[in-house]
Amino acid sequence: MKELTTAMPIQIQKVSITHDAIIDVLIARPDFTQREIAAQFGYTPSGLGIIVRSDSFKARLAQRKAELVDPIITDTLEQRLGTMAHASLDILQRKLESSDDPKLALATLEAATKARGYGAQGPVLQQTNFIVQLPGPAATSSDWASKFGHTPARPLEVVDAASTVIDAPAAVQQA
């Protein structure tokens, strides 16, 4: 019997039908955790980890992923958007070459320049922060006023506007 050491990790020798089923779940449900998959197949999480890390399992998983030829499954969203953009540009280019419609040309130009970031930009938002140092707290308003040198406000004087005559400045009287 072989003695296991830390230098020699535990490996499965060949992939079984159960291991193929685990691969099916990994491909179909990439959001499942190892703990969920282990529970589904009756393994402990560490037991499933040994299987998943083995060379033969990794090779079979890579082979199965390579068998997926459907571009909708294998392509990323970014790749698919790029493919769609190129196909759309080809169609527009052919249409522009065979048409003298100025509205089509302007609409295409507008869409292309907008996509490239040319033209008028939206409003630029600018945030301005003000830092104000306020005086410390005081028990009463009179304590605060005496502490920070403010004098009490004078009462407002009420003036009857109808009886008050305002002298115009000399510059206005000369005009």
Burial class (CB in 10 A: 0-12, 13-18, 19+), 34: middle
pLDDT mean for each 10 residues of the chain (175 residues): 47 85 89 91 90 90 79 68 80 85 83 75 76 78 75 66 56 52
Which candidate, 130, 132, 152, 133, places its Cα nearest to that of 142? 152
pTM for this prediction: 0.37
pLDDT on residue 2: 34
Contact 37, 26 (CB under 8 A): yes
